[in-house]
Structure 1
Amino acid sequence: MTDEKKPKQLFWYNIALLAFVSVWGLGNVVNNFAQEGLVVVVSWILIMILYFVPYTLMVGQMGATFKDAEGGVSSWIKEVSTRRLAYFAAWTYWVVHIPYLAQKPQSILIAGSWLFRSNGNFVKNTPSIIVQSLCLVIFLIFLYMASRGIATLNRVGTIAGMSMFIMSILFIILGLSAPAMTGSTIATANMTHVSNYIPKFDFKYFTTISMLVFAVGGAEKISPYVNKTKNPAKNFPKGMIALAIMVAVSAILGSFAMGMIFDANNIPDDLMANGAYIAFQRLGNFYHVGNLLLWIYAIANAMASIAALAVSIDAPLRILLDDADPKYVPNALRRKTSGGVPINGYKLTGILVSIIIIIPALGISGTNNLYNWLLNLNSVVMPLRYLWVFWAFMMLNKQLDKFHSDYMFVKNPKVGFGFGAWCFLFTAFACILGMVPKITYASNPSAWWFQLILNVLTPIVLIGIGFILPAIARRHQEEVN
């Protein structure tokens, strides 16, 4: 066996499991159930068929076509389009992590509160400005640690990630079996009535789609495995179909379990922040193990959030700067210390994240409201990076004769372009409507407008900064010349 053939040892089930662990989690079930209730079951089925399956298969073809590309999506864009667009793809990939970094300290604080106090009063009672001040301190500590070159907790993150995955599966098993095993009462009445699962396709419903897209996105992480798969033309699509089935089954069964534990017709306001903890606390009571399940989940979630915070400060920034084109990224931003730390990139990260942590707290009262808003903001901003995946696939199909791939999603370039365009437009549609605040206008008009302005301005400003940097880089080069 030659060296070229040795890496190709993964089968379809290996691909499915690797992808499932990396893209799925209990939070996806809780957050979408909090927004839609039982109708989310049908929403999951639709999003899998219309969006997730073609999305993952497009990623497979892109990964197989550009098997040696190290920059991910930005490298794909560079191959099928221009270096300028490749820069914007890299910038988008990095900058959408800013709201994500602003939210992770919240998750750490909430997990710690449940671990030591075993209740959700921290979210309900603590003023948002105090919580966000603590979040800023936590973030700055991790930013300082990263700037000093301290390890990014990869091993802890792997262990915590696997623990979260196990707890997600355990939640489904225990939640669905609780009524039969423990005699617990099903919280939602008439769960057998089909009418409870049919969405009302109105404007309010469409504003929740971004959370579904946010939940199933990130399949581009799987692309490096395409060329490590044995017979990728056969095994990779089988793996992606298996992934879609596993995610769909987990999402649907998890939503049923949520409906058994929480009344879908009377969803608590703090379900996004506290729902998973309350669920494990109730399951612990059902199975007579007290708060054991709650504590295990709180520890796992805290460790996963800490690892995600540490890694997300450093990794996306290096993707942007390590292969940065001097024509678009100023030398000052690319400057590294003797230890290889992009210090000015860290400073820019610190400024942007600090703004998103503090400014919303000045106009959004209540820690729970702030948590829900920031989570919804992430569902608007994070999927913006997926747009580049679909753009790259569209451009690939316009010049398909120039490239070779061991795996093809569709062989007809016009059909392939159509799939890419559909997913591009669907993602953009979800992000735009996701900007509409989830609080009712009548309940607090000033807060509604404040959230809407932040939801619109945040992605515009974050992406807009990317247009400024090339001008700064060009001016610097002119001064040097």
Structure 2
Amino acid sequence: MNQKQIRWFTVGLIAFNMVWGLGNVVNNYSQQGISVVTSWLLILALYFIPYALIVGQLGSTFKDSRGGVSSWVENTSTKRLAYYAAWTYWVVHIPYLAQKPQAILIALGWAVKGDGTMVSAMPVNLVALASLVIFLLFLYLSTKGLSTLKVIGGLAGTAMFVMSILFILLAVGAPAIHSSMEIATPNMTSVSTYIPKFDFSYFTTISMLVFAVGGAEKISPYVNQMKNPSKEFPKGMFLLAGMVAVSAVLGSIAMGMLFASDNIPADLMTNGAYSAFQKLGAYYGVGNLLMVVYALTNMIGQISALAFSIDAPLQILLADADPMYVPEWLRQRTAKGTLKNGYLLTGILVSIIILLPLIGIGNMDALVKWMTNLNSVVMPMRYLWVFFAYMMLNKAWKNYQSEYKFVKNPKIGFIAGAWCFFFTAFACILGMVPKLDFATDPKAWWFQLITNILTPVVLILIGMILPAIARRDQKKNQAMATVK
């Protein structure tokens, strides 16, 4: 049977489900307001489309590679750099894992109380401790295997995807059903309303846009399962970009209808999605039903994401780890195959980030904003390796064959990879600047700046230390073997 049966529209839909979610709309609207509509169109045209097509060529070229990005890097450069790529892929999940317990608490609060007061009324130290307990519980459960939860989480993820589309349809359609509905943002029919102010403050927010459209490397395994990759894969990616554009633009317009762009609520990043469904439920006469359904599906989805993201990235890092770069103690498994010290290292690093806010965060909304922005700085670091591998691929293009090519000219291909690489780095570096007024809370401003810089630096430095420990272990083992 010919396995190359996946059509371009199927790949586009699979990729859309992987990349997109309502949180992307809410988080970016909370930072830029209605002018984010223009930002979405720019980021999709200048960054996301070339990014997705680059991934397609890498996936097609290295179709037998199981390690994803790290395999691409190893094939185009060295084993050492491949290790750093694998380490980066794993370590960027540390802040991501640290945020999940907060998201679970917020969703639970809305499902139980019907508003955001349950968590917002809690002191930050209590939120941090509750988040730590939740994380440690799921860290322990992950060592026992959570296959059932992962299946349920997959269903919840699909439900979340449906809710994201439903939100757009209900919000955009609300004025047609309720002619008396008041539009929160003024002058939404004027083009000038959607033009951003391209100042320094604006550029500090683009890391959130990069974070939102990232993750396209997950679709690489599907490239070679297509009937005609060279023709169909680009079609699928343009379909993906079109769906993301429609969802982002209409979703942002929907947010503008519900929340005033010139007076964005301070808790929008924390409670915006729930509040939006609550408002829509009131318009359509179903009370809190939409909000409760969203809160429950989001809570289950977040629980599954927490469980899955503890184990899966760790397996990718350590499953075929090179003894030259990864110490033996980190690769040790129990009789049941559990990476016990890998889980221990994950637990220590995530616990530190969960407890960091005790030093310099004063309230729940500030905590959510800081953690979300920290993720937008750290998570895109893994995309850098995708673009690095693509640049190296174009430097030695005669050595590789691919059924699909983004561009046939290797010089143009190298330039495209370099553009995406430096744009990602630019977004991450500027994203480190805190998104709060220095004069209002200088202590919190400095805390966020320092942690936004130190977190990625420290996480990468740990990865640089491990090869030295691995070499020391190898020398010790060789010395012991010589003595025997």
Instruction: Name the counterpart of 1:266.
Output: 263
Equivalent residue in structure 1 for 2:126, among 123, 130, 147: 130
Q: Tell me whether 1:170 sits opposite 2:163 in the alignment.
A: no
Equivalent residue in structure 2 for 1:105, among 94, 101, 106: 101
Give the partner amino acid of 2:128.
Q
Instruction: Name the counterpart of 1:340.
Output: 337
Instruction: Name the counterpart of 1:118.
Output: 114
CA distance in 2 between partners of 1:128 and 1:152 (Å): 32
Q: Tell me whether 1:24 sits opposite 2:27 in the alignment.
A: no
Q: Is the 8 A contact 2:378 2:428 kept in 1?
A: yes
CA distance in 1 between partners of 2:327 and 2:17 (Å): 37
Instruction: Name the counterpart of 1:393.
Output: 390
Residues 407-440 of structure 1: CA deviation (Å, up to 9, x unaligned): 0000100000000000000000000000000111
Give the partner amino acid of 2:87.
W
Identity over aligned residues, as a percent?
Answer: 64
CA distance in 2 between partners of 1:210 and 1:139 (Å): 26
Q: Tell me whether 1:181 sits opposite 2:177 in the alignment.
A: yes
CA distance in 2 between partners of 1:222 and 1:153 (Å): 23
Map residues 77-476 of structure 1 onto 2, 5 A cutoff.
Answer: 77-151=73-147, 153-183=149-179, 184-476=181-473
Q: Is the 8 A contact 2:327 2:466 kept in 1?
A: yes
**May I ask how many residue pairs the two structures share in their alignment?**
477
Q: Is the 8 A contact 1:163 1:300 kept in 2?
A: yes
Q: Structure 1 stretches of 5 or more lacking a match?
A: none
CA distance in 1 between partners of 2:149 and 2:394 (Å): 40
Q: Is the 8 A contact 1:146 1:152 kept in 2?
A: no
In the TM superposition, structure 1's runs of 4+ consecutive aligned residues that sit over 6 Å from their partners are: none
CA distance in 2 between partners of 1:152 and 1:212 (Å): 33
Give the partner amino acid of 1:402.
N
Residues 266-287 of structure 1: CA deviation (Å, up to 9, x unaligned): 0001101100000000000000
Q: Tell me whether 1:69 sits opposite 2:65 in the alignment.
A: yes
Equivalent residue in structure 1 for 2:40, among 31, 40, 44: 44
Give the partner amino acid of 1:164.
M
The 10-residue stretch of structure 1 (29-38 or 122-131) with the greater mean CA deviation from structure 2: 122-131
Q: Tell me whether 1:480 sits opposite 2:473 in the alignment.
A: no
Three-state SS of the structure 2 residue aligned to 1:336 is coil
Give the partner amino acid of 1:474.
R
CA distance in 2 between partners of 1:111 and 1:433 (Å): 30
Q: Is the 8 A contact 1:149 1:339 kept in 2?
A: no
How far did 1:152 drift?
6.3
Q: Is the 8 A contact 1:152 1:310 kept in 2?
A: no
Q: Is the 8 A contact 1:328 1:471 kept in 2?
A: yes
Three-state SS of the structure 2 residue aligned to 1:153 is helix
How far did 1:86 drift?
0.2
CA distance in 2 between partners of 1:146 and 1:154 (Å): 11
Three-state SS of the structure 1 residue aligned to 2:356 is helix
CA distance in 2 between partners of 1:281 and 1:428 (Å): 38
Q: Is the 8 A contact 1:33 1:40 kept in 2?
A: yes
Give the partner amino acid of 1:21.
N
The 10-residue stretch of structure 1 (119-128 or 75-84) with the greater mean CA deviation from structure 2: 119-128
The 10-residue stretch of structure 1 (110-119 or 143-152) with the greater mean CA deviation from structure 2: 143-152
Q: Is the 8 A contact 2:8 2:235 kept in 1?
A: yes
Give the partner amino acid of 2:216.
A
Q: Is the 8 A contact 1:115 1:298 kept in 2?
A: yes
Q: Structure 2 stretches of 5 or more lacking a match?
A: 479-484
Three-state SS of the structure 2 residue aligned to 1:378 is helix
Q: Is the 8 A contact 2:103 2:299 kept in 1?
A: yes
Three-state SS of the structure 1 residue aligned to 2:147 is coil
Residues 262-312 of structure 1: CA deviation (Å, up to 9, x unaligned): 111100011011000000000000000000000100011001100100000
Q: Is the 8 A contact 1:207 1:436 kept in 2?
A: yes
Give the partner amino acid of 1:237.
P
Q: Is the 8 A contact 2:331 2:339 kept in 1?
A: yes
How far did 1:323 drift?
1.1
Give the partner amino acid of 1:275.
G
Residues 5-38 of structure 1: CA deviation (Å, up to 9, x unaligned): x211111100100000111000000000000001
Give the partner amino acid of 1:16.
G
CA distance in 2 between partners of 1:150 and 1:418 (Å): 43
CA RMSD of aligned residues (A): 0.8
CA distance in 2 between partners of 1:345 and 1:27 (Å): 30
CA distance in 2 between partners of 1:44 and 1:377 (Å): 20
Residues 349-375 of structure 1: CA deviation (Å, up to 9, x unaligned): 000000000022221110111111000
How far did 1:455 drift?
0.4
TM-score, normalising length: structure 2: 0.98
Give the partner amino acid of 2:377.
V
CA distance in 1 between partners of 2:107 and 2:383 (Å): 29
